[in-house]
A = this chain, B = another copy of it.
Amino acid sequence: MVNMATEDSVTFDPDLPDVYGDAQPKQLLRTIIEEHEQLQTLANRHVISSGQFSRDVMLQLFRLAAKFECNPERFNSPLAGKLLISAFYEPSTRTRLSFESAWHRLGGDIMSIADRSTTGIAKGESYADVAEMFNNYGDCVVLRDSDPEAVYQMARSLRIPIINAGNGIMEHPTQALADVYTILKWRPELLTDDAKPIRIGVVGVPKRMRTVRSLLTLLSQFSDIIEELVVISDRPAKTAFADGQLEALEEAGLNVRLSNELDGELPELDVVYINAIAWVKNAREVMGNAFRLDDQSPLKEGAIILHPLARGPELDVSLDTTPHNWYFAQARGAVFVRKALLTCMTQRTERVMDVV
């Protein structure tokens, strides 16, 4: 066989829009009123945990993200002269490139560590010493490490901001920001006074999954627009949640219920968040096969599916071409959310504000 690229295989349509175009971010942009000073609170601060973000700060971040998404070519140099250290001691192409794309799109330069094996950390150097080195070399650090303590240990020695891009099973705050951004982009009217609250299902184990943990913490600040949040897993509350985790969510006003049955919940859920992968140190712990979505699942009409990706068998490709697929929009939006956050953390917000 002589392999030949057919005309069809080599052409593409660059204008194929994102799943739901830019009408959505435009509406979100109109819905939130700009409050510059909220974003200034992000200056000179690390981003380690979802618990750091107030609702007001989140909304301003989402407004800025929506502004970037409505007009990706604009604001292409607010980070000119700024240097990012992209340190993925736990390798992750997807998250690394999402951050690096965001930084490059803002006009900054990058130094990458894509692999732990060749670093001083692997030879026993302390995180504090590595942080001292980073102080001399860059203007911001993005860190992923399978050790939950690494980001805390670096933060203590840093004089430049660090972002936690996943610390073991504990947190992944920027992923959670992207998740909430997607929900609000999908339905900006949730932020208006007469909004009808939604029901959200989260498939996963809050105790063991960093993306789920961070997401629940952020959602607890939006309890007024969430009628109920159903955590769906094969575990009882005792092992599904960490000590005090459920109580903290409920105290924040979130109406949380635990379920061990996915298909029974689906017909009543507006948003289904699924992520079958839990990180246990460097290994993966997968939930039972009971929790799978495909185009035969009894999804509510108009419901959207979110997934932090990469996916496993829990999310069937048959859903990709359905209107339930908002996970691609979610990945796309993550770059704009990160652009917004990075702009604030490096104190360049005044270069992208409408009014200063």
A83 to B102, CA, bound (A): 11
Interface size on A, residues (CB 8 A): 84
User: How many copies of this kind of chain does the complex include?
Assistant: 3
Task: Check if B49 sits within 8 Å of A5, measured CB to CB.
Answer: yes
Q: Which of B12, B76, B112, B113 contacts A161 (CB 8 A)?
A: B12
A155 to B120, CA, bound (A): 28
Q: Which of B114, B119, B148 contacts A3 (CB 8 A)?
A: B148
Task: Check if B309 sits within 8 Å of A46, measured CB to CB.
Answer: no
Contacts of A132 in B (CB 8 A): 328, 331
Interface residue A332 (Cβ < 8 Å from any Cβ of B): yes
A331 to B132, CA, bound (A): 9
Q: Which residues 159-173 of A have a CB within 8 angstroms of B?
A: 159-161, 170-171
Closest 6 CB pairs of A and B: A91-B118, A5-B49, A101-B137, A5-B48, A125-B310, A136-B332
* Residues of A that sit less than 8 Å from B by CB: 1-5, 9-14, 16, 44-49, 51-52, 73, 76, 81, 83, 85, 88, 91-94, 97-98, 100-101, 104-105, 109-115, 117-120, 123-126, 128-129, 132-133, 135-138, 148, 152, 155-156, 158-161, 170-171, 242-245, 248, 309-312, 317, 328, 331-332, 334-335
